[in-house]
Amino acid sequence: MEVKYLDLAGEAFDFEAAPVEYKRCSSGHISHTFFVDCGEGNRGYIIQKLNTEIFRDPYALMSNIKGVCNHLKRKIKACGGDVLRETRTVVATKDGNDYYVDPDGGYWRAFLAIDNVVAYDHPDSCELFYKSAEAFGKFARQLDDYPASTLNEIIPDFHNTKKRMDDFKACVKADKKGRAAEVEDEIRFVLSKEPMCSYITDGLKMGRFKTRVTHNDTKISNVLMDADTGEGICIIDLDIVMPGSILYDFGDAIRVGASTAPEDETDLSKVGLDLEMFETFVRGFVKELRGYISDEEILSLPMGAYLMTLETGLRFLGDYLDGDVYYHISYPEHNKDRAKNQLCLLSDMGAKIGAMQEIVKKYL
């Protein structure tokens, strides 16, 4: 699919040489992303057209990214690291702006590309998942002293599970498409979890959990790994970096990476929590954060995984009830199947919560 104004956008940024070729990147489902080849001997770049239906304030978004990346560069430089390789470098336009606005009002931004790296869609081994845990843990540690309250809230209440539950109850009550009757069991199961929905938000308000910079999309595909050493070197996709709890980032990583099946799997007998993968991630994550994360946060990590899975399941189910208006679907019952998948994973987490708690105690 051709993207309008790609050439104009490429000409607008202050690249060291004129673009020779644009290659669409396969990863990324929200923004249009291209690798910019500026010819042999010149640096490569990444150029993206932002999805402004989701990201309605590009200025606030880019302000967050630049603030976080500049902070990371200071930490990386102090440790003798490579600031052009270990975090994103925002490339300005020729007139000094962080983004280019095309004739139709579309917003584009650019980054320096990072050479000799690979990214994985799924953690196919404990070793690979461990490397991603180290990378996300290091990211959180390096940002531990960043003033999280100064970040813009790009998507308000993104991980406010209590509000997500309230929104879900409104979806059930409205039943816009007359679908509630076919998912009565799933609705009942979700509603039974309401009492625990405020666990993290209450912890943040009461000061039991530190308000930190959170990534909020901790899939392994957002870790660039060195092609030679296999080490996780750079965390990407910083669009929804916001203030929050470390439990959000840990929990979402477990929801995706420690599940025994992808979230689209319809054979629910294949869906569950892999405790070996769970412990692998705990080990790498806590190792990087030791001295920066409290005992209470460590002991609450299983609840982070549980609540992020609940939140995702009720969002899929709510979108199905609303007529599939938020998530892209590939077939009519896609969101219903995703919801059943996540609630099945949640149920297995509930059965294994004691084992999860015993695992995290080992890393106090």
Q: Helix 246-257 crosses helix 275-289 at what angle (to 10 degrees)? A: 150
Question: What's the pLDDT band for 1 if we cut at 50, 70, 90?
Answer: low
Nearest to 196 by CA among 18, 350, 28, 5: 350
Q: What is the pLDDT of residue 316?
A: 97
Share of the chain above pLDDT 70, in %: 98
Q: What is the mean pLDDT of residues 14-26?
A: 93
What CATH number does residue 100 fall under?
3.30.200.20
What CATH number does residue 298 fall under?
3.90.1200.10
Predicted confidence (pLDDT) per residue in 294-306, tens digit: 999 999 999 999 9
90 and 155 fall within a common domain: no
Mean pLDDT of the chain: 96
32 and 164 fall within a common domain: no
In a domain, 45, yes or no: yes
Lowest mean pLDDT among 26-40, 90-104, 340-354: 26-40
**Measured between alpha carbons, how far is 309 from 254 in angstroms, rounded to an integer?**
9
In a domain, 120, yes or no: no
C-alpha distance from residue 31 to each of 46, 190, 218, 281, 345 (Å): 12, 31, 17, 29, 29
Q: What is the mean pLDDT of residues 269-288?
A: 98
Residue 99's domain comprises 6-115
Q: Which residues pair with 37 in a beta bridge?
A: 21
196 and 331 fall within a common domain: yes
Residue that is written with structure tokens 């249009």 in the block: 32
80 and 168 fall within a common domain: no
Q: What is the pLDDT of residue 54?
A: 86
Q: What is the pLDDT of residue 2?
A: 67
pLDDT at 29 over 80: no
Q: What is the mean pLDDT of residues 95-120?
A: 96
Q: What is the mean pLDDT of residues 100-106?
A: 96
Predicted confidence (pLDDT) per residue in 227-245, tens digit: 999 999 999 999 999 999 9
For β-strands 21-24 and 32-37, DSSP reports them as antiparallel
Q: What is the mean pLDDT of residues 118-131?
A: 95
Q: Helix 301-322 crosses helix 246-257 at what angle (to 10 degrees)? A: 70
Whether the CB-CB separation of 154 and 216 falls below 8 Å is answered with no
pLDDT at 86 over 60: yes
Domain count, the chain: 2
Nearest to 253 by CA among 229, 285, 226, 228: 285
Domain boundary among 46, 80, 115: 115
